[in-house]
């Protein structure tokens, strides 16, 4: 379902795939070839959410903009070629390009994630954490465990391509 909020209507690129079981609410912008899967909720009522191109928001993700910090910008920006794993919860400030957010990861308020990063499955990224480019982050609470390896980089670079192809397959069966 695509729903406006207080006069703000989601803007979705023509090439994006939005499953009918997803909710897109308010001041949301979704870029070319991005794909939003069943049960995902993207709710922009406290702040704007900008999702780049070729971003996969997998089943049952929750993406919400906002911050408890009255001096911070409440908007959320997600770069290009990002894969957000099943059940992830994001209420952060920024996710760079070519980032993999693992299944059931939680990214709290005011977090900023650099480019070419991996956030491990089940990680809980603490409020306000700044994650540099090419970091591998895991744990509860999450810690930077090191740099993304060349083997791990395959997931970062190839997963978005796979989801663009999967969205095309789903689009043809409607």
Given a contact cutoff of 8 angstroms between Cβ atoms, the answer to whether 71 and 87 are in contact is no
Q: Is the whole model's pTM more than 0.85, yes or no?
A: yes
CA distance 107 to 142: 9
Phi, psi of 158 (to 5 degrees): -95, -30
Residue 55, classed as helix, strand or coil, is coil
Strand ranges, E, within 4-151: 11-12, 17-18, 23-30, 35-36, 41-51, 56-57, 62-64, 76-78, 83-84, 89-90, 94-95, 100-101, 106-107, 112-113, 118-119, 124-125, 130-131, 135-138, 143-147
Q: What is the pLDDT along the chain (174 residues), one digit of tens a residue?
A: 999 999 999 999 999 999 999 999 999 999 999 999 999 999 999 999 999 999 999 999 999 999 998 888 899 999 999 999 999 999 999 999 999 999 999 999 999 999 999 999 999 999 999 999 999 999 999 999 999 999 999 999 999 999 999 999 998 876
Q: What are the sequence ranges of the domains in the chain?
A: 2-172
- Give the tokens for residue 53: 């191109």
Q: Give me the CATH topology for the region 2-172.
A: UDP N-Acetylglucosamine Acyltransferase; domain 1 (2.160.10)
The 10 Å Cβ neighbour count of residue 171 is 11
CA distance 133 to 154: 16
């Amino acid at each position: 379902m695509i729903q406006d909020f207080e006069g703000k209507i989601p803007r979705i690129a023509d090439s994006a795939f939005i499953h009918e079981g997803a909710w897109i609410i308010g001041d949301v912008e979704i870029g070319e070839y991005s794909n939003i899967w069943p049960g995902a909720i993207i709710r922009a009522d406290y702040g704007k959410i900008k999702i780049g191109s070729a971003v996969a928001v997998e089943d049952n993700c929750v993406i919400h903009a906002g911050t408890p910090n009255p001096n911070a910008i409440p908007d959320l920006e997600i770069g290009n070629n990002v894969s957000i794993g099943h059940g992830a919860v994001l209420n952060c400030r920024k996710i760079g390009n070519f980032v993999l957010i693992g299944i059931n990861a939680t990214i709290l308020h005011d977090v900023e994630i650099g480019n070419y990063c991996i956030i491990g499955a089940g990680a809980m990224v603490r409020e306000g954490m700044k994650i540099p480019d090419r970091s591998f982050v895991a744990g509860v609470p999450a810690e930077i465990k090191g740099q993304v390896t060349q083997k791990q980089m395959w997931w970062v670079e190839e997963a978005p391509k796979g989801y663009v192809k999967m969205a095309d397959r789903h689009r043809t069966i409607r």
